[in-house]
Each structure stands twice: as C-alpha cells, then as structure tokens.
Amino acid sequence: MAAYYITVTGVVQGVGFRPFVYTLATRLALNGWVYNHSGGVDIAIEGPEEAAARFIAALRDEAPPLAHITGVTVRPVSPNGYTRFEIRHSEQQEGQYQLISPDVATCPDCLRELFDPHDRRYRYPFINCTNCGPRFTIIDAIPYDRPNTTMRVFPLCDACRAEYEDPANRRFHAQPNACPVCGPHVWLKENERMANGESRIQNPKSKIQNLTAEDALSKAQALLLDGKIVAIKGLGGFHLACDATNAKAVRTLRERKRRPHKPFAIMAATLDDARALCDVSPEAEALLTSPQAPIVLLDRRSTLVVDDVAPGQHTLGVMLPSTPLHHILLRDVGRPLVMTSGNLSEEPIAMDNAEALERLAPLADAFLLHNRDIHARYDDSVVHIANSEWQTANGKKPSSDLPFTTCHFQFLRRARGYAPFPVRLPFALPQTFAAGPLLKNTFTLTRDVNAFVSQHIGDMENLETLEHYEAALATYRRLFRIEPEVVVCDLHPDYMTTRFAEEYARAHNLPAPRRVQHHRAHIAACLADNGYPRNGAPVIGVALDGTGYGEDNAPFHDAIWGGEWFVGGYDGLTRAAHLEYLPLPGGDAAIRNPWRIAVAYLHTLLGPEAFPAGIFCPSDALLVRQQVTHNINTPPTSSMGRLFDAVSALLDVCQVATYEAQAAIELEQIAAPVGQADSLSYNFDIEASGDMQIVRVAALFEDLLRDIERGVPTPEIALRFHATVAQMIVAVCERLRTATNITTVALSGGVFQNRLLLKLAVPLLEKHRFEVLQHQQVPCNDGGVSLGQAVYQSQ
C-alpha cells in the first residue's frame, strides 16, 4: 500500500481541478481526499503503487484545459486507512496565496445548451460550468469558493445543487453555477431624451417588473436595429453597443462618446460571421475562438461594416461573444455590433448598475442590466498577430510561458481573459510595487518569481481613473497576499503615478521609491517577458515610442526621449544611441497637431525654404517657425513617435490628431503592401559624438520632399519611410555590435505595435545575424512599463 501527500500550485482553482482529481482517483481506485486552500490544492492518496504513480503523472498530463500547474510536490506518508475518496471543505491559510484564473468565454458545451430549446437553461444569459464563465471579476477573497464571490447572494436551487454535488457532472463544484430559477437575471431600462438633449432614466432605482428577461432581450434587439445605443453589462463592466452597419448610429455614438476618429471594436455572432467581414487566418481563428476571446485586429474584406467604425483603417478589431448574454443578443440582432468600452473617452469603464445609469446616461438610449455584481473592473483585451508569415517561414514558435498561447501574438491591451495570470520571472524579487507609467497604465506587484501585471487601467489623468487604480491595487494585494517592501516609479516628478508611489511609500513606512527611466523600463520589461536570465549576456535594447522623461544635462535637461538604443541588462542599461534632438513646438500642443512637428523639423533641418506648397497654412507655419527660432516652449525630443507624426503630416495623412498615435497609425494603414512598391529606403546619417551614436534625419526629409515633388504616390512614400526606419534600427545595432560584440536585440516601445515595421525590421535584423526578443506576455507599449520598473535593478 502506497500513500502520498501532494501539493499542487498554479491556476488550479476555478478551473475544475478538484472534480478532475476526484474523477481521476475514483477511476484508479485510490482513496483519500482533495481540498482547496489559500496556497493551492492539497491531495492525499492511498492505494497500489502502480495506481499512485499513474495518478501523479496524470495530474500534469491530463489536467483540465484551463489549469496551469506551476508546481507539484509529492511526499510519501504513512497510510491512514481511508475508505473512499472525497472533496473536503476549503481552508484559508494565513500568508499563503494562489494563482487565480482570469474570466473564461462561454465553452462549446454551454453554448450548445444555451440554444437548445429542450435544455432548462435555454437562452439563460448566465449559463456556465467548470470550463467557462466569470472568475477573477467576481472573486473578493480566496480560496475560490462561492461564499467568496459575488454569487454568494444567489442560493442554489435543488437542481443546481444536485449538479454542484455530482462528481460526474460538468458543473461539479462550479462556483458561479446558476439557472433561471435561482440565479441572476436581466432587465432593461430606457433613457428618455428631453428636447434640450438631457437624459432621464425611467425608474432609476427600480426594475421594470412587467418585463421578463425575454422581453428585455427582445426590446434591446429592437432598439439596436432601430439605430439606438444600448449599454450592456458584461463580465468586467459595460459595453456601449450599436449597429455596426448603420452609419448614423455609429456617428451618434462617436459624438456622444467624444471619440471622433479612434477605431471602435466590433462583435460578430460567430466565426463564420467574422470570416464574412475580415480575412481570418488559422492563427486569428485560434485567438477568436480561444477561452480568452480577445479583440483581434484583422484585415477587412467586406464593406458591410461602415467606414465610420474605423475611419482611415483597412483593419477592424473583431471579437466573438465572451458571455451568454452577448451570444444571445448578437444572434437575435443578426448583424455585427460596435462593442466599445462603456465610458466617456479617457474615463474607466463603468462597472456597477448605479454608476452606469449615472455616467452613461448622456451616451446610451437604454441599459441592459443584470444583478450579478462585478468585483473587478476589466476592459476587453486587444491583440494582433505578429508577423505570422515570416515566423512560419523561419520555423519560429512562441516561447511564452502563457498557458493559453496558441500562436505568436502581441498585446495592444492586456485585460479580460489574460490578467491576472502572472509573468513568471527568471529570478525572485522582494515583494515589489511598481506604479507604472502615466498613459496606458498598468501596475505590477511581485511575489517570489511571479509578477502580477494588472489589467489595463488607462491614462492616469483624472480622479475616476485614480480611484480605479487604487481599487485594483487593493484587490491584487489582498488576493495575492502581497505587502510590498519596495516601491518603484517613473523618473517624471509630476506624473500622478509618481506622486501616488511617493505617498504610498510614506504611508507604509517604506524607503522612498526607486526611480526608473521610462525607456530603460521598456527594455527591462522585454527581457523579463522573454524570461531572459539575470546573468545573461548584455543586449542591445531598442526603445522607440512617443514620450519618455529623459536624463540629459544642459542644454537638453528638459529633453523628451523616444528614439533610444541601450546596451546592458537588468542591472544597468547605458544609453548608446538616439535620434537627434529636434524641437517640439508647444509640447503637448504639437502632439495633438502633428503639422506643427513637421513645420518645426523642416525649419530646423532644411531651413525656411523647405516647405512644399499647399500643405501647411503659411501664417500658422510662420508662427511655429518663429517659436522654434526664438526657442519659445520648444522642448527638444529624440522621439521616434514624433518622427512618424512629422512624416504623416507632411504627406497630409494626418495633420490634427484626436487620439494617441493617430498620425502614425494612419501612416501605417495607408502604406503600400510590401512587395507591391519599391521599398528602397531613404538616406539618413549616423554620427559619432564621443561614446554616443546620433541618428541624423536631414537627408531623410530631403529625399522625402523630392518624392513629394516628383508625385510619387503617398502609399509608396509611406512604405519607403517604414523601410527607412527598419534600416535605421539595423544600422545602429550593427554599429553597437561592432563596438560591443553584443548579438541580441530587445525591441520595445509603442512604435513596435506597428505591424508593417515589425514585418520589415525583424527579418532584417535576423538576416544580419541578430537574435531578436519581442514582447509576448505584456504589451510593447506603456502597458508593459510597470513590469520593467519592477525588474530593473540599477541604482
């Protein structure tokens, strides 16, 4: 008789792991028990040695698909004489913590039941099982049991309890289990619009008693087909939905949301519907139908979705329904719907019913509400597939530690479906709180070798976002039992995150925050994302983005960095090269008006005569040139993002931006396909200044102006510019390799969200025998900066 005590750690709660263990032990005729605790799952087994060995091997080999095991500890013990195998009650253990599953999209089994007229959960908007449904957004304590979730207020009916207690049932110990008899329900409230444009919610504090759930769904369908905007409560907050084939409805949503140009995402009912709208590769199909169901950027193939959904774009952000409620509504409407975050631009997504009725009243014509509370506010994740063509050709495979990786993709926004799954670090850290950047904020908390990068928080520029940040931080600290010993923040003294970190350190009697320069954090994040070892060889880090607080001395003490090359690693990154400094007239005003950047760059590089006719207003351009000449509020910048802005404005692609990186995004979108135009790059120079390499771009603008004068088509010029940036990256890296013998390059920063640039630059680097590290588990944009702050160790 063999007897073992086993501890399993990882994502092993809320994923059907205890039912799996019970079924496995019963199948192998083993006796003992299994239970959840605050640190994972403990198991005791007794029986024949061969059966015990098969059981231990199967824990990893046959684990449920949503489980992700990080450790299995097996210890021989003396037999206790157990006579059966049972699931015991969970235990809370002081100081222990466990990994928690993100929310999971509706599984195929539940989807079949949802649309089966003979099933008792037919068209029930909250159907779920151990393989799908809400997880992190409903948990407020561990271990993961129903009393520790927002489902505690819904006692199970007899039928649901029988499923919950039946080891052979798919809903055995499914904590959110419910049905129309005992579970949450939906209702609808309409918004009365007055003649003066003001809104008034019908009966704001009471439900409409005479509307059944089917009535509410039918009314929501009718409103959407009539061109109205409906706020829909989802897993992590509210969506604002409208008919994506109705230009008037989309324009109305843009006006109300104050979002004139930034693309909206759409939701299609099925994979076939998505294929009718866009080109869906096998990699994209795997992502769309995955348990995470993110928004995936796809190339359009149909004009059914109106251009106003994504102005100036040949791509669409597409997702499939992630909840039963969305599945029902999309099939009822029979059209793709715009499905965008339920907020006014730059505010957090609305989460609670009362909050939505107040904050979204000026935006929505009706509200599809339900009474399952949300504990954690989560947006949808957004991804794109990174260079699948060249990766397939070169036999590349993703090296991510993610349990849900199906192809090599990159995050643009990491939230629902992925967070809070941690990045596994190549070395342990003291418990650390990294406050993150100002824009596209996330924070990171570390414990042992786990880095818990928060869901997308947003731009830290208003009180509402700060409150969301504080609530999310408190949730992560509580659930993962983290008491930070180290606080880290950005160098910028006036960022809201910097001030928060300083106050946090004071309030918790911790040393003053360690400050990490923005672009060094980018490179450190890329290293950690790839599991690069602490004692690994130095790398060349290429950090290209729009804005980051620099470290220069006079005369560039107020310089804004953004086109940077470094050498080093976690323990220190030395700035080795950068784009030349050029004036940014008006600071933020220039970022919102890329034409100002183009004027300033041309004036500085080529003189006052270098202005093509008909692009810039002469009087406005004269004012900017005078501002540059007299150095009035013109901070110097080495930003690659601003170089993209200048070229975009010069080509008259985007002269005024209403959202971040609009000019660069539209420049990428308009560029000719690789292979369909002459991609010969423009000229540029690299000048040595002591130990620093400086990239000079006057020749680039001379060539570009010459092409404009020759009448070269704008798409071809845009492609050539992208090819120039790719050549620039490689040329600087080759110079640095000559000086240092470093052969590994880490790419980070928001500029590398540009799929065309990646398609050009990465194969070129590999052709020149560089090993290339790219982001896999966190975004290359500022959403990954907090991870880099946490792991960067230089003082």
Q: What is the pLDDT of residues 207-226, one digit of tens each?
A: 444 468 999 999 999 999 99
Q: Are 720 and 679 in contact (CB under 8 A)?
A: yes
Place of tokens 């120039």: 724
Instruction: For residue 743, give Cα distances in angstroms to 306, 537, 734, 746, 765.
Output: 47, 9, 9, 10, 10
Q: What angle do CA 625, 629, 633 make, to 5 degrees?
A: 85
* pLDDT, position 676: 52
Whether the predicted pLDDT of 547 surpasses 80 = yes
| Other C-beta atoms lying within 10 Å of the C-beta of residue 315 | 19
pLDDT over 90 (residue 368): yes
Q: In the beta sheet, which residues pair with residue 573?
A: 568
Q: What is the mean pLDDT of residues 607-616?
A: 77
pLDDT at 743 over 80: yes
pLDDT of residue 794: 65
Q: How far apart are CA 420 and CA 45, in angstroms?
A: 31
**Residues 6 or more apart from 162 whose CB is under 8 A from it?**
169
Q: Residue 352 has what pLDDT?
A: 95
Q: Taking a C-beta distance cutoff of 8 angstroms, is the pair 128, 134 a contact?
A: yes
Cβ–Cβ < 8 Å for 549, 442: no
Look at residue 92 in the predicted model and tell me its pLDDT. Answer: 75
Cα–Cα distance measured from residue 115 to residue 214, given in angstroms and rounded to the nearest whole number: 14
Question: What is the Cα–Cα distance from 443 to 785, expressed in whole angstroms?
Answer: 8
- The residue with tokens 């959110």 is 176
Sign of the Cα torsion 567, 693, 546, 287 reads negative
Q: Phi/psi at 694 (nearest 5 deg)?
A: -120, 125
Average pLDDT value over all residues in the chain? 92
Quickly count: other Cβ atoms within 10 Å of residue 789's Cβ.
Answer: 33
pLDDT at 106: 98
Cβ of 633: how many Cβ atoms within 10 Å? 13
Helix (H, G, I), strand (E, B) or coil at 620: helix
**pLDDT at residue 401 above 60?**
no
Mean pLDDT of 160-168: 92
DSSP 8-state code for residue 104: B
Cα separation, 327 vs 212, in Å, equals: 18
Handedness of CA 710, 713, 714, 718 (dihedral sign): negative
Low-confidence winner among 191-200, 404-413, 619-628 (lowest mean pLDDT): 191-200
pLDDT confidence band for 762 (50 / 70 / 90): very high
User: Which residue do the tokens 């289990």 mark?
Assistant: 177
pLDDT at residue 399 greater than cutoff 80: no
Give the DSSP letter string of 414-472.
--TTTTTPPEEEEEEEEEEEE---SSSB--EEEEEEEEEEPPP-B---SHHHHHHHHHH
Residue 455 exposure: Cα atoms within 13 Å on the Cβ side:
29
User: How many CB atoms sit inside 10 A of residue 272's CB?
Assistant: 9
pLDDT of 403 higher than 90: no
Confidence of residue 44 (pLDDT cuts 50, 70, 90): very high
pLDDT tens-place string over residues 123-156? 999 999 999 999 999 999 888 889 999 999 999 9
| pLDDT of 3 | 96
Please give the pLDDT value at position 272. 98
- pLDDT at residue 405, rounded to an integer: 42
Omega before residue 555 within 30° of 0, cis:
yes
The average pLDDT across 678-684 equals 81
Q: Which two tokens stand for residue 492?
A: 């910028």
What pLDDT does 208 receive?
Answer: 42
pLDDT at 395 over 60: no
pLDDT at 169 > cutoff 70: yes
Q: How many CA atoms lie within 13 A of 15 on its CB side?
A: 25
More confident residue, 793 or 244: 244
Residue spans of beta strands (DSSP E) within 596-679:
636-637
Q: Six-digit token pair at 748?
A: 């980070």
Q: Is the omega angle on the peptide bond into residue 311 within 30 degrees of 0, that is, cis?
A: no
Rg (CA), the chain: 27
Tell me if residue 623 falls in helix, strand or coil: helix
pTM value is: 0.93
On the question of pLDDT at 678 being above 60, the answer is no
Strand pairing of 423-434 and 409-413? Answer: unpaired
% of the chain beyond a pLDDT of 70: 94
Q: What is the pLDDT of residue 90?
A: 81
* Averaged pLDDT, 447-474: 96
- Model confidence at 271: pLDDT above 70: yes
Please return the burial class of 10, using the count of CB atoms within 10 Å of its CB with bins 0-12, 13-18 and 19+.
Answer: buried
Percent of the chain predicted with pLDDT > 90: 83
The residue count for the chain = 795
DSSP 706: H
